[in-house]
């Protein structure tokens, strides 16, 4: 998907989960209310505020903006318990989600805080999102935000605990999924003195200009029968657009999309959702059956898009509409424009169709993405992915005490660090419905699994084994941190 690229993979799953989710389409907040009360989704939704520096790189710019955050201290072991920082990513942060972090916080008797990413949600520095006002939206500024907030919160905690100025810090551990997983890894890289370690779940640490591996993984995860059905469906869509354009788009409630490639991007993203979020059967079972029976593949696929992607996940057609994405007024949908800015300036993740055996349309190519970027932000915008990888190290970052986890069926894993080392262990969670952030969110995501339960994963024992290894690393690194803190007193 886009991130949300089909990168905002985001979502308001991000809003729901307080993390990010890379796919183009942000999900609508109403999509999280199915059969579960709001209170069960979150550990807390009580908003708090921090006055954040706008430009951390300028010694002369002293402007501030209000940044939203949350805290949950019910499990905290006073005064020396650990603090868990949950990083919110490319979407609004509506609270601290009740996923597997809740289980970890209880186990380690940790306090939990979560900081909303600058510009997203209610943390916008400006009333207008015109291109000139977005120059402070970057991963580098976001990392400084985390460092400043971490220092502020530690000082505030010391005051609450009546610890004198200059007293020792609590041990901190950082967590993130997807783009925020990358931020978690990059924070440990750039500020190793401020965290004992990081969990980088489905962390897209490698900026990629032409991300053809993304579509290749979709074909692999789909399996041969489903891939062939998807490819045939895509050909029918392309042909249908030529002969009965409005009729085809109306099947998907997408007649507002004047640019055919934007429509084909939406239909490509819709397929991604099944695999990225661990629900392959929602797509493949009806599509393969329709192909075998000689039924209308386009109608079958449009039913999947309308009933699953739109009704359940809240996929919005207008977020693929360039007119909507050019809107500079701050609204609940602004995250789509904001994420595209990050993709178009520093991260890329252009999900282009591979030259051969592509699942998505070949109209989704590099030119499509560059034209979209220029259409939204002006002719001078270009993704400086080489500079991003030079600054952070890509998937060869030189850091320590970072846990990388990826779901075997998640197309984003190809932008993560998949080789394991002693200082940076990496685990691939292998199961048929192990997708984006499975270690934290569980599977399948529909759209959220309370406490990230693994019982509905096709191989729950494998998921639980990786979680046990995560716990061991967190326990070890927190212990080493405490020893370092005591020796410095």
Alpha-helical (H) ranges within 343-437 are 366-377, 385-392
The first and second tokens of residue 282, run together, are 């929602």
Q: How far apart are CA 165 and CA 427, in angstroms?
A: 40
Q: How far apart are CA 234 and CA 239, in angstroms?
A: 9
User: 324, 318 in Cβ contact below 8 A?
Assistant: yes
Catalytic residue of the set 178, 221, 408, 446: 178
Cβ atoms within 10 A of the Cβ of 125, count?
A: 18
Residue 117 is a catalytic residue = no
User: 199, 174 in Cβ contact below 8 A?
Assistant: yes
Catalytic residue of the set 416, 436, 439, 446: 436
Beta bridge partners of 62: none
Q: Which of 123, 114, 99, 93 is nearest to 12 (CA)?
A: 93
Q: How far apart are CA 72 and CA 477, in angstroms?
A: 22
Residue 410 is a catalytic residue = yes
User: 179, 3 in Cβ contact below 8 A?
Assistant: yes
User: 240, 260 in Cβ contact below 8 A?
Assistant: no
User: 429, 407 in Cβ contact below 8 A?
Assistant: yes
Q: How far apart are CA 319 and CA 334, in angstroms?
A: 9
Residue linked to tokens 């939204």: 376
Q: What is the dihedral of CA 374, 14, 110, 477, to 10 degrees?
A: -50
108: helix, strand or coil:
helix
Q: Which of 479, 246, 259, 214 is nearest to 363 (CA)?
A: 259
Beta bridge partners of 85: 113, 174
Catalytic residue of the set 269, 395, 410, 439: 410
Q: Which of 266, 207, 262 is nearest to 387 (CA)?
A: 207
Q: How many helices (H) and strands (E) in the chain?
A: 18, 13
User: 181, 202 in Cβ contact below 8 A?
Assistant: yes
Residue 281 is a catalytic residue = no
Q: How far apart are CA 363 and CA 237, in angstroms?
A: 12
* Enzyme catalytic residues: 178, 410, 436
């Amino acid at each position: 998907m886009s991130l949300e690229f089909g990168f905002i993979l985001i979502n308001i799953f991000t809003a729901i989960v307080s993390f990010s989710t890379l796919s183009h389409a942000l999900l609508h907040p109403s999509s999280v209310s199915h059969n579960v009360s709001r209170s069960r989704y979150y550990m807390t939704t009580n908003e708090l505020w921090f006055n954040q520096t706008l430009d951390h790189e300028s010694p002369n710019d002293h402007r501030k903006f209000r940044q939203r955050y949350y805290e949950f201290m019910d499990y905290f072991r006073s005064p020396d318990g650990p603090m868990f920082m949950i990083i919110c990513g490319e979407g609004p942060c509506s609270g601290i989600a009740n996923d597997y972090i809740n289980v970890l916080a209880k186990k380690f008797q940790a306090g939990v805080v979560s900081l909303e990413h600058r510009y997203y949600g209610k943390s916008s520095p400006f009333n207008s999102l015109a291109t000139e006002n977005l120059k402070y939206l970057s991963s580098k500024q976001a990392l400084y935000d985390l460092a400043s907030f971490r220092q502020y919160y530690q000082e505030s905690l010391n005051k609450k605990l009546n610890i004198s100025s200059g007293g020792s810090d609590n041990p901190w551990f950082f967590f993130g999924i997807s783009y925020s997983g990358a931020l978690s890894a990059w924070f440990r890289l750039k500020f190793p003195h401020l965290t004992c370690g990081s969990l980088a779940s489905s962390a897209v640490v490698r900026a990629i200009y032409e991300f053809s591996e993304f579509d290749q993984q979709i074909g692999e995860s789909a399996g041969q029968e489903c891939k062939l059905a998807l490819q045939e469906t895509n050909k029918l869509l392309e042909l249908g657009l030529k002969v009965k354009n409005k009729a085809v788009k109306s099947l998907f409630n997408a007649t507002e999309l004047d640019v055919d490639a934007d429509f084909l991007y939406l239909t490509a993203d819709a397929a991604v959702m099944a695999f990225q979020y661990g629900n392959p059967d929602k797509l493949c079972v009806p599509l393969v059956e329709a192909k075998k029976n000689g039924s209308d593949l386009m109608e079958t696929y449009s039913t999947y898009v309308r009933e699953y992607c739109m009704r359940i996940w809240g996929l919005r057609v207008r977020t693929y509409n360039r007119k909507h994405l050019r809107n500079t007024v701050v609204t609940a949908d602004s995250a789509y424009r904001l994420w595209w800015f990050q993709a178009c300036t520093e991260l890329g993740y252009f999900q282009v169709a591979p030259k051969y055996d592509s699942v998505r349309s070949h109209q989704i190519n590099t030119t499509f993405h560059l034209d979209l970027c220029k259409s939204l932000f002006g002719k001078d915008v270009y993704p400086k992915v080489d500079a991003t990888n030079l600054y952070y190290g890509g998937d060869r970052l030189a850091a320590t005490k970072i846990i990388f986890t990826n779901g075997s069926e998640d197309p984003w894993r190809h932008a993560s660090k998949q080789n394991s080392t002693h200082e940076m262990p990496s685990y691939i969670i292998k199961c048929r419905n192990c997708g984006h952030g499975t270690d934290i969110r569980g599977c399948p995501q529909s759209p959220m699994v309370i406490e990230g339960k693994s019982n509905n994963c096709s191989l729950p024992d494998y998921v639980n084994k990786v979680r046990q290894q995560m716990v061991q690393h967190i326990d070890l690194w927190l212990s080493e941190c405490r020893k370092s803190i005591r020796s410095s007193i």
